[in-house]
Chain A
Amino acid sequence: MSHYNETELLTRIAAGDQLAYDHIFRLFYKPLCFFAYKILLDQAKAEDLVQDGLLKLWQRRGDFESINKVKSFLYVSVRNACFDDIEHQKVIGRHRDELHRTAGPSDENILEVLMQAEVVASVFSMVNTLPDQCRKVIRMTFEEGKTPKQIADELGITVSTVSNQKMRGLILLKKRLSEKDVTLAICLLLPELHKIMR
């Protein structure tokens, strides 16, 4: 992904564009909740802390130079919030039966949980549910910014097959994203999807 593309999105968020923010929210929410939940073992609390972290992101929206920095900011915030909460619970004197940790989860454990969150999020992402060639064409078109001719040459297929697979991929993605979740963000931002969304 080129810096230019990322910069566009970040600039938009920095400028206060809510649609761009919504988009980031939807991308990061679940893995962050998984992460927090594994530390706290409390679903409601995990969600609260993650929401706080994402709110902080909005408040600091101009501060980030890359999406990776945004991600690490979120994980660090959520991790700190979780640890603060555990300390707080200890101070209040509450104990949970499931928790046998007196020292709190180690940083090593934290990193493992983070990696699990990230890997699961990626592996189960929508694009991976697409049939093989579809997925490759969609990836090469949107992620790598390749032209139909380049893709055709690389995959050893014709340009018209590339065109078909792209269309097929977008239709399948559209089918698999519920109306609510897709929202305007994706509709407005992916012209092809917008065209086939009526």
Chain B
Amino acid sequence: MELNDQIEQAIHHSKLVSGYLEGKLDDAQQAELVHWINESEHNRDLFEKLCNESNLDNAHAVFSLFDTESALAAVKRSPDFVPYKAPVKRWPAIAMAAAVAGILLSIGIYFYQADHKRVLPPTAYNNDVEPGKSGATLTLANGKQIRLGEVGNGDLAKEAGVNISKTDSGQLVYTIQENSSENKRNTISTSMGETYEIRLPDGSAIWLNAASSLTYFAKLTEGGERRVILDGEGYFDIAKDDEHPFIVETASQEVRVLGTRFNINSYKDEQAVKTTLIEGAVKVYAGSTGQLLKAGQQAVNTGGHIVVAAADIDNVTDWKNNEFLLDNQDLQYSLRKIARWYDLEIVYGPGVPLNAEIGGGISRNSKLSSVLKLIESIGLVHFRIEGRKLYVDK
């Protein structure tokens, strides 16, 4: 066999052996490795030698004799190293990252000396903050307000034609019974730190996030359509009813659905109203023309102008699954999410990287300190809690 081929084969077999040692071979690769080992006594001995721990350590010690950086500098200083002057097309950063990351990991990122990072002062909070919980306020057509919390049935049920029960997970569910004669208009609203689940008589379910409200009509299908009004954020799981399109009205848009699952974020302190479709089909109207959404897409409505983009469903519906998912979102957005659940006021110090993207995920049932520690572990910001004020500093 030609030298070139021999070397390529040796490289290939090395991958199998290292893959074995790192525990990442699939069945086919394992079979190939076993076959190679059994081919000859020489292969068997070689395999054992390669896997021997002290051999590996000794060999690794030899690696540290060589200085990569000065070598690289030396090569670049060589007169034969001619920099190429042609214009280089700028590849998108993500593609490049994926390419290199893939190579990095398939070939291996070498061990370099530890970097001594500056140590952040230990986190000490004045007080901690409990997470939000299930709760809401019902405002009847006549203006009367009723707190919904641990309230059972009885009078409440009579008044508003509703039934309140608890799901297995302890969530309070507010089921509207279609029994009242008048088509009363009721509003259920959550304050900061509250969330609620609502069931409509047609079988649709709506989850309300903190600081939000949903206005509905007791006779849901009045006028040939099912119409509700949303302020804040809601996750909708709408029962199919071809005869009665479901309409969610917010200040700047209307979303028409037949039967589907979607999330609408219309908080006033966010720049745009975001409608994310998980399943089914919806049309978003800001004005007379409707924008059709497909599953996995999001309509971003900025002052009546709608743009459709691909959506990260997990990130958008994290709250409904009782989690905070903070990947690929900037610091300010993530902190606004957190503030609504813990009922906080955020105060930013100078020099805080507001647009930095953070990451991580944590249950919404955690105390505030746990969430903050997760963000602090990235090393970008430092928090201080004082009562209901969250101070963010560099």
Contact of B66 with A6 in the complex, beta carbons under 8 Å: no
Chain A residues with CB below 8 A from B74, complex form: 51
In the complex, the answer to whether A188 meets B103 with C-beta atoms within 8 Å is: no
| B16 smallest CB distance to A (angstroms) | 10
Binds A, one of B149-157, B251-259, B340-348, B359-367: B359-367
Q: Which 10 A-B residue pairings sit nearest by Cβ, starting from the closest?
A: A160-B361, A16-B84, A125-B108, A118-B14, A122-B18, A126-B109, A142-B101, A8-B99, A181-B112, A143-B105
| Cβ–Cβ < 8 Å partners of A45 in chain B | none
Contacting residues of chain A (143-198) with chain B, CB-CB under 8 angstroms? 143, 145, 148-149, 158-164, 166-168, 171, 173-182, 185-186, 188-192, 195-196, 198
Whole-angstrom distance between the Cβ of B152 and the nearest chain A Cβ? 33
Chain B residues engaging chain A, CB cutoff 8 angstroms: 3-4, 6-8, 10-11, 13-15, 17-19, 21-22, 24, 46, 49-50, 55-56, 59-60, 62-63, 65-66, 68-69, 71-72, 74-75, 78, 80-86, 88-89, 91, 93-115, 117, 314, 318, 323-327, 353, 356-363, 374, 377-380
> How many Cβ-Cβ contacts under 8 Å join chain A to chain B?
285
| A-side contacts of B91, CB under 8 Å | 8, 12
**How near does chain A come to B206, taking the closest CB pair, in angstroms?**
23
Interface contacts beyond A27-B109, A118-B15, A142-B98: sample of 12 additional A-B pairs, CB < 8 Å, sorted by A: A18-B83, A27-B104, A67-B107, A76-B3, A118-B14, A119-B14, A121-B63, A121-B110, A123-B21, A139-B105, A191-B93, A192-B359
Q: What residues of chain B lie closer than 8 Å to A145, measured between beta carbons?
A: 98, 102
State A183–B305 Cα separation when bound (angstroms): 42
A68 to B378, CA, bound (A): 36
Bound together, the chains give a CA A5 to CA B97 distance in angstroms of 9
Does A72 count as interface, using CB distance less than 8 angstroms? yes
- State which of A53-61, A87-95, A96-104 sits at the interface with chain B: A53-61
Chain A residue contacts of B71, Cβ below 8 A: 25, 29, 47, 50-51, 54
List B contacts of A125 (CB < 8 A).
Answer: 107-111
B14 and A127 within 8 A (CB): no
Nearest-CB distance from B264 to chain A (Å)? 21
Output the nearest chain B residue to A58 by Cβ-Cβ distance. B81
Q: Does A86 contact B (CB under 8 A)?
A: no
Q: How far is the CA of A126 from the CA of B115 in the complex (A)?
A: 13
Q: Which of B75, B100, B111, B324 has the most CB atoms of chain A within a 10 A radius of its CB?
A: B100
Contact partners of A25 in chain B: CB under 8 A: 68, 71-72, 75
User: Cβ of B94 and Cβ of A160 under 8 Å apart?
Assistant: no
Which B residue's beta carbon lies closest to that of A28? B107
Whether B10 pairs with A166 at a CB distance below 8 angstroms is no
Nearest A residue to B76, CB-CB: A18
Partner of B380, one of A118, A128, A161, A196: A196
Judging by beta carbons under 8 Å apart, are A29 and B72 in contact?
A: yes
Nearest residue (CB) in A for B14 is: A118
Instruction: List, in ascending order, chain B residues with CB within 8 A of A22's CB.
Output: 72
> Which A residues touch B75, using CB under 8 A?
25, 51, 54-55, 58
CB <8 Å contact, A142 and B8? no
Pick 21 A–B contacts, CB within 8 A, sort by A.
A1-B106, A8-B98, A12-B91, A12-B99, A16-B85, A18-B83, A30-B68, A33-B66, A59-B82, A68-B11, A115-B50, A116-B49, A119-B14, A121-B63, A126-B108, A126-B109, A142-B105, A167-B377, A175-B115, A175-B117, A198-B379
Q: Which of A63-78 contact B (CB under 8 A)?
A: 67-68, 71-72, 75-76
Contact A180 B63 (CB under 8 A): no
| CB atoms of A167 and B378 under 8 A apart | yes
If the complex has contacts A16-B88, A55-B80, A122-B14, are A190 and B112 also in contact, measured as CB distance less than 8 A? no
A6 and B83 in contact, given A111-B6, A159-B314 (Cβ under 8 angstroms): no
- CA gap between A122 and B96 in the complex, in Å: 22
Is B356 touching A27 in the complex (CB atoms < 8 A)? no
Specify which chain A residues have a CB less than 8 angstroms from the CB of B59 in the assembled complex: 34, 116-117, 120
Q: A190, B62: Cβ atoms under 8 Å?
A: no
CA distance A107 to B361 in the complex (A): 53
Are A161 and B361 in contact, with the CB atoms below 8 A?
yes
Q: Which residues of A lie under 8 Å from residue B15 when comparing CB positions?
A: 118, 122
Q: Is A114 an interface residue (CB 8 A)?
A: yes
For residue B100, which residues in chain A have a CB less than 8 angstroms away from its CB? 9, 20, 23, 185-186, 189-190
> Which of A27, A162, A176 is in CB contact (< 8 Å) with B115?
A176
Do A159 and B325 have beta carbons less than 8 Å apart?
A: yes
User: B68 touching A160 by the CB < 8 A rule?
Assistant: no
The answer to whether B66 and A15 have CB atoms under 8 Å apart is no
Cβ B360 vs Cβ A115 within 8 A: no
> Known interface pairs A23-B100, A43-B65, A118-B15. Does A163 touch B360 (Cβ–Cβ under 8 Å)?
yes
Is B68 within 8 A of A143, CB to CB? no
A111 to chain B, nearest CB (A): 4
Residue of A with least CB distance to B55:
A116
A29 near B68 with CB under 8 A, answer yes
Task: Return chain B residues, CB-CB under 8 Å to A76.
Answer: 3-4, 7
Q: How far is the CA of A19 from the CA of B228 in the complex (A)?
A: 56
Chain B residues, CB < 8 A from A7:
99
